[in-house]
Structure 1
Amino acid sequence: MTKEPVWQEVDAHAWSHAEAEARCLELGKGDASRAVDSAIITLRRNFDDTILIGGPPCQAYSLVGRARSKGKAGYVPEQDERHYLFREYISVLDRLRPAAFVMENGKGMLSSTI
């Protein structure tokens, strides 16, 4: 097995830039919404075109995720906030208006129901 490189050492400048730019947010929460709004304002001010790449968590949609959740005692799909996070993605699309977007998710998204 090939050992993975220590990326901080491969390109320290790029790593530092990525760390400063990355966000660790829990979407759907007030603080995260404000941080995303601020980032969108900055992006729209500094760039004419953007590309958004991302997607809602697949645990709520994927075939494997659904199978695992069914096995949990007391699991109620309607109460699983992950089912509704696609709305956050749509909200970002609406405000950012990127030139292109990629919404990645696992097998089962289109057949998922609550």
Structure 2
Amino acid sequence: MIFTIVFLTAIITLITSKIRTIVLRNNLDAKNEKRILTTGVLVVLFLITSATLPYPESLYWFLGLGVTFTSIILSYSVVKIELKRFLALKTKEKVVNVLFYSLLIVVTNIYI
């Protein structure tokens, strides 16, 4: 259980720092900043509840997809800007980003 708490703390710290970076990089207004913060809170709450409450597999994926789609809908304008920024990166940087975040998702699913 201690490993799960440490792992969740690291993931929450990463999510918080990424949200702060996105807000500062895009100079978001208050409305979009609140939407991004709401998205981050939804993701963090999903991670915490999935680690502490035993969901059935189908409910876990339903809630996960619901949080994902709600997050994309809430922050669509910012996601669009970040996607343009991502597509402008060099190929090597794109591959590194995709591999890093894919690995992060896989490791999170394994340990939580």
TM-score when scaled to structure 2?
A: 0.29
In the superposition, the TM-score normalised over structure 1's length comes to 0.29
* The structure with more helix, counted as a fraction of residues: 2
**Higher share of residues assigned strand:** 1
The structure whose RCO (Cα within 8 Å, separation 6+) is larger is: 1
